Structure 1
Amino acid sequence: MTIQQYLAKINTLYITGNAREHSYRGDLQNLIMAILPNILVTNEPARVACGAPDYVLTRKDVPVGYIEAKDIGVDLGSKTLKEQFDRYKSGLSNLVFTDYMDFHFYKDGELTTKIAIAKLENGTIVPQPENFDQFTQLIKNFSETISQTIKSPTKLAQMMAGKAKLMADVIEKSLNYDDQEGKRSTIKSQMLSFQQMLIHDIDNKSFADIYSQTIAYGMFAARYHDPTLPTFSRIEAAELIPKSNPFLRKLFQDIAGFDLDTRLTWIVDELVNIFLASDVALIMKNFGKSTKQEDPVVHFYETFLGEYNPALRKARGVWYTPQPVVNFIVRAVDDILKTEFDLPQGLADTSKIKIKKKAITQTASKKNAVIKEVEVEHEVHKVQILDPATGTGTFLAEVVKHIHKKFEGQQGIWSKYVTKDLIPRLNGFELLMASYAMAHLKMDMLLTETGYKPTDDQRFRIFLTNSLEEAHPDTGTLFSSWLSDEADQANAIKRDAPVMVVIGNPPYSVSSTNKSKWIESLTADYKKDMKERNIQPLSDDYIKFIRFGQHFIDKTVRVF
């Protein structure tokens, strides 16, 4: 098809007065494929309701560009289109907006050029042949993506955030569509599983945040461990996520590997392209050197979250704790354990105690099987450490650094100590998916730097859960086993662990979004007989976490 033939066909449709935006889709698709014979141009009208561009251009299954088409004669600068166009420009690096005659080319969110191949005159489409050759060359250039290596951590964080924002919008629209149609799609089932077992007040928008951050940071962690930089894919990413984080690994395999919702494929593949141009391990290593900061993970995450959704950071009270403050608190806790609790090794203590836990038993006979709950003795480390709002793992990482100093010159026993006496004592709870993934990555990076060499698939005891919700005893029977396993292990700490050290910097948020009956009933103790006119500050998340810590003190004192 030539440009002249294309214009003649859409003009025939246009002058009928019955044609709509979708009527011209196939003709534009055929024109682009005629100009680009080695490119597959896919028209995706079914995905439009979920926020996807109208066309995706791919070469060997790799996206090279996107086209969003509006009805003939629509003003592409209209304010009514601004929200959608801004969303696409922030998330898609190679993009064209068109009304089938006028074409605006964008690269990395910036308008690079525009050209018209026709115009409307007296109710008909009039070709502008003087622009045909230039248009053809622009379309060819549009499909020739040049892979530029991303070296700036700030640029990588911003690009990840742009894709994640766009993905979250698509996911939310997909979930809303499922609700309207009464459908139980895979993604909707996953959301309901999260709601049942992990985050009970989650809604479509909140789950969209979790889902998009999971994919973005799952890929980030996978690429960090990728020894084959020239190649990268969704399937490869699912295999590369460390086994020390089985939840993220299995969740990522489920949602971004083999069974990814087709409504999301295009934007996930855009993320793949970003990481193909990134050596994440080198970027993070250089980032630490360039900023002269001990914790590049924190600064990378803050850049991402600030770009992705500053309001989310504020709503959850997420703020960076200065490293000297973290270091002081860890050293102070170590000193208190030595002087007040008669534990000479402080945070490095390896002593154990026996606790009683509830267990389910079943008689051997299948015919007359009897299931009952019994109490059994279980041996655990005495100095259990918990950061209930662990964020990116800053406090847990500082504990590791502090303890590692005691093993200088003893690298031979360090790995054995970490496996048997350190990882089993370090516990963290986190509510935000991105920081949860980064906490795991930070622990992985830090322990590797110390010379730790794992001998098995031991997981880090950092869990995706809401600290301020009570343990739920029935999760083991619900939904997929890997999701219930994450919830069960978090519940086990809440219910059974004799936590001796609660450490960290909980979120500050006067307008608390954590309003579970469990934590509200505990903080009610602080409000008794108060005659203050404004008692709202006692509902600050920070106060709730203090009450959470007191709850563990009360519980653990009974054990000791």
Structure 2
Amino acid sequence: MAKLVETFGARWKLRPRLHPEYSLPEARVRPDYAVETSGRITGFLELKAPGHDVTPDGFTKRDREQWELMRRLPNVLYSNGHTWCLYRGGSRPLRTVRLEGDLYRSGSRLRISAADGGAFRDLLREFLGWQPRRITTVGQLVSSIAPLCQYLREEVLEQLALERRTPDGTRSRRLVPKPFTALAHHWSKVLFPSTDGQDPDHLFADRYTQTIAFALLLARIENVPLADRNFVDVAHELKAENTVMGRALQLLTETVDAEFARRIDTLVQVIDAVDWEAIRARTPDAHVHLYEDFLQEYDRDLRKRSGTYYTPPRLVKEMVRFTDAVLRTRLGCVEGFADEQVTIVDPAMGTGTFLSEIIDRVAEERSRRGEGFRGEAVEQLAGRLIGFERQMAAYAVAQMRITQTLRKQVTDTQLGDLRLHLADTLADPYERATLFTFLPDGDPLVENTRKADWIKREQKVTVMISNPPDRERAEGEGGQRRFRSVILVG
């Protein structure tokens, strides 16, 4: 059956290659083959024994568990030799073709049923020719990448399980590489600490997946090309404007072998099809709901556990206005947030809502003196704005959002001029630096954490403003949302 797919593809000069996927005991995810066409992964092929049902209605328990993950892929072909079903992210096949004859004896006489005509050829051509559709709305973006992230998370978990089953050395005493085990060990201490009793493997797999997805999305929004490129080059270009995210992408992919890179390839292709300008043209504030909507689709339980709910713009505006008034009337900072002695920290930055609003308010206030004062005001404010966020994906969205805010204000101020840190606000600033023994001095992630720790130890702060995650309130999924907002001024 696999040979049949390759033969048809070769006739159409698509140069198909079928990469057999190794299996794990009790593995739930991997299809039999990843199908590469013209140098890119275009789909996945799952083969069943003759007579075995290839539709969800007839799956056994084990097959159904696999199907619940495989159906999230955008292009999957199931076959038992006689029946071929093409799935495109749904529970019902897009196309179904049945062959007539005995699989073992018919040979070249195996044929398509009269009712299906030339449908088999069309099915294979459609399968091998898959390309992601252009993404022009937030809804399309979320519904496209969230299922792929669910699938990739399971792949990481299975990779960790495989490495744990592999002996540390062979008879020749040569060590067997275990890249994901090493990453999980280091990153659980540095950026992905578990503070609420979650399974460390699941936590790492989740954070790994979100980091890859949102780093690639950030690169796409910054017009870094993704198609037919390796992760090293993408990460290098991303670091030019987004140092921490670029370095994180580099670290999480530099030890990935070609086999696992193929598993990320479909996600890369889908994100490369994102037209962010078209999304913003339809939804100017697309950043506002992006991460919340993603979590709702990707993992609702995670959303509830993390208390990830956006703060309504009206509440943000009022909190910023009120704080600005307190600065002016109670603390002698006559220009409010624009006063040069005011340093502002958002300790749970999320997607950058408060910092963006403060930038807009300061620019608007100064524009009353003349439009030319906007850029100058933002430039003076930038170094006094500090944000901490420990969720990598939210941090990436904050960078997207604040970058857009700066561009809107027509200023020379760059994202790097603000002090935005990927860090846990509650982490001990006297201990964290000792956890970077696997990274060299000067590494962007080392510097990111050292600067965050210095701020926590030494920085004089005038305003702390935030709406931190409230897990208790989030348990009800925010039907009647209450907000545990924080404003500390002094």
Q: What is the aligned partner in structure 1 of residue 126 from structure 2? A: 141
State whether residues 42 and 131 of structure 2, in contact with CA within 8 Å, keep that contact through their aligned partners in structure 1.
Answer: no
Query: Structure 1 residue aligned with 2:310, among 316, 320, 330?
Result: 320
Contact 1:47 1:263 in 2 (8 A): no
Match among 104, 107, 127 for residue 88 of structure 2: 107
Matched residue, 2:326: 336
1:63 maps to which of 35, 41, 47: 41
Write the distance in 1 (CA, Å) between the matches of 2:333 and 2:19.
Answer: 67
**Are positions 1:468 and 2:426 aligned together?**
yes
Q: Report the AA paired with residue 36 of structure 1.
A: G
Q: Work out which of the residue numbers 74, 86, 90 in structure 1 matches 2:68.
A: 86
Q: How does 1:497-536 map to 2 (within 5 A)?
A: 497-510=459-472
Counterpart of 1:277?
273
Distance 1:303 1:510, change over 3 A: closer
Shift of 1:151: 2.0
1:491 lines up with 2:436 in the alignment:
no
Q: 1:458 to 1:277 in 2, by over 3 A?
A: closer
- Is 1:190 matched up with 2:183? yes
Give % identity: 25
* 1:281 maps to amino acid: E
Task: Give 1:93 deviation, angstroms.
Answer: 1.2
Separation of aligned partners in 2, 1:485 and 1:35? 53
Residue identity matched to 1:112: L
Kindly indicate whether residue 209 of structure 2 is the aligned counterpart of residue 212 of structure 1: yes
Aligned residue type for 1:393: G
Structure 2 residue 244 is matched with structure 1 residue 247: yes
**171, 180, 186: which is aligned to 2:156?**
171
**Structure 1 residue 390 and structure 2 residue 339: aligned?**
no
Separation in 2 of the partners of 1:415 and 1:259?
A: 42
Separation (CA, whole Å) in 1 of partners of 2:191 and 2:122 = 52
1:192-229 per-position Cα deviation (integer Å, ceiling 9, x unaligned)? 22222233327111111111111111111111121779
Q: Which deviations, in whole Å up to 9, do the C-alpha atoms of 1:323-381 show, x marking residues without a partner?
A: 11100000101111111111101111113xxxxxxxxxxxxxxxxxxxxxxxxxxxxxx
Of the structure 1 ranges 399-408 and 142-151, higher mean CA displacement relative to structure 2 is found in 142-151
Listed as ranges, the matches of 1:9-88 within 5 Å are 28-37=1-10, 38-46=14-22, 49=27, 51-76=29-54, 77-80=58-61, 81-88=63-70
Aligned-partner residue type, residue 497 of structure 1: Q
Structure 2 residue aligned with 1:266: 262
- 1:243-269 CA deviation, whole Å, 9 max, x = no partner? 44311011113334x543444322321
Query: Residues 458 and 303 from structure 1, CA distance in 2 versus in 1: closer, same or farther, beyond 3 angstroms?
Result: closer
Please say if residues 33 and 46 of structure 2, whose CA atoms lie closer than 8 Å, have aligned partners that are also in contact. Answer: yes
TM-score, length of structure 1 as denominator length: 0.73
- Whole-angstrom distance in 1 between the partners of 2:101 and 2:349: 58
Between the aligned partners of 2:251 and 2:16, the Cα distance in structure 1 is: 27
- In the alignment, residue 222 of structure 2 is paired with which amino acid? H
Q: Secondary structure at the match of 1:36?
A: helix
Structure 1 residues 329-338 or 225-234, which shifts more?
Answer: 225-234
Structure 2 residue aligned with 1:6: none
Corresponding residue number in structure 2 for 1:369 = none
How far 1:300 moved relative to its partner? Answer: 2.2
Bigger mean CA deviation after superposition, 92-101 or 161-170? 92-101
Q: Which residue identity does 1:29 align to in structure 2? A: A
Whether contact under 8 Å (1:326, 1:398) holds in the other structure is yes
Letter in 2 for 1:441: M
Corresponding position of 1:159: 144
Q: Is there any run of 5+ residues in structure 1 with no aligned partner, and where?
A: 1-27, 289-294, 352-382, 514-540
Contact 1:254–1:260, Cα closer than 8 Å, also in 2: no
Say whether the 8 Å CA contact 1:152–1:283 is kept in structure 2: yes
Cα deviation for residue 242 of structure 1 reads: 5.9
Offset at 1:177?
Answer: 2.3
Displacement after TM superposition at 1:280 (Å): 1.5
Counterpart code for 1:190: L
Contact 1:508 1:542 in 2 (8 A): yes
Tell me the SS of whatever aligns to 2:471: coil
Give the 5 Å matches for 1:288-303: 288=284, 295-303=285-293
Equivalent residue, structure 1, for 2:390: 431
How much has 1:398 moved relative to structure 2? 0.7
Question: Could you tell me how far 1:234 is from its partner in structure 2?
Answer: 4.4
CA RMSD of aligned residues (A): 3.2
User: Which residue number corresponds to residue 407 of structure 1?
Assistant: 366
User: CA distance change for structure 1 residues 460 and 230 in 2, over 3 Å: closer, same or farther?
Assistant: same
Aligned to 1:20: none
Give CA-to-partner distance per residue, 1:374-405, whole Å, 9 cap, x none: xxxxxxxxx22111111111111111111111
Q: Match of 1:445?
A: 404
Cα deviation for residue 312 of structure 1 reads 0.8
Which amino acid in 1 is paired with 2:339?
D
Task: Kindly tell me the number of residue pairs found equivalent between the two proteins.
Answer: 452
Q: 1:45 and 1:221, CA in 2 relative to 1: closer, same or farther beyond 3 A?
A: closer
Residues 101, 218 of structure 1: CA spacing in aligned structure 2 closer, same or farther, 3 A cutoff?
Answer: same
What is the TM-score when the length of structure 2 is the normalising length?
0.82
Distance 2:135 2:483 in 1: 39
Structure 2 distance, partners of 1:197, 1:472, is 14
Contact residue 39 and residue 57 of structure 1 kept, 8 A = no
Quick check: 313-322 or 198-207, which moved more?
198-207
Q: 1:490 to 1:119 in 2, by over 3 A?
A: farther
Q: Aligned in 2, Cα 1:126/1:148: closer, same or farther, shift over 3 Å?
A: same
Q: Deviations over 1:379-437 (max 9, x none)?
A: xxxx2211111111111111111111123265655445544x32222112222221111
Structure 2 spans left out of the alignment, 5+ residues? 169-176, 476-481
For 2:76, the equivalent position in structure 1 comes to 95
Instruction: Pick closer, same or farther for the CA change 1:43–1:100 going to 2, 3 Å.
Output: farther
Amino acid at match of 2:460: P
Distance 1:162 1:233, change over 3 A: farther
- Paired letter, 2:97: I
Higher alpha-carbon deviation: 438-447 or 300-309? 300-309
Question: Cα distance 1:51–1:489, how it changes in 2: closer, same or farther (>3 A)?
Answer: farther
Structure 2 residue aligned with 1:13: none
The answer on whether the counterparts of 2:100 and 2:111 sit within 8 Å (CA) in structure 1 is: no
**Range 271-280 or range 223-232, more displaced:** 223-232
Which has the larger Rg?
Answer: 1
Q: Distance in 2 between the 1:230 and 1:87 partners?
A: 25
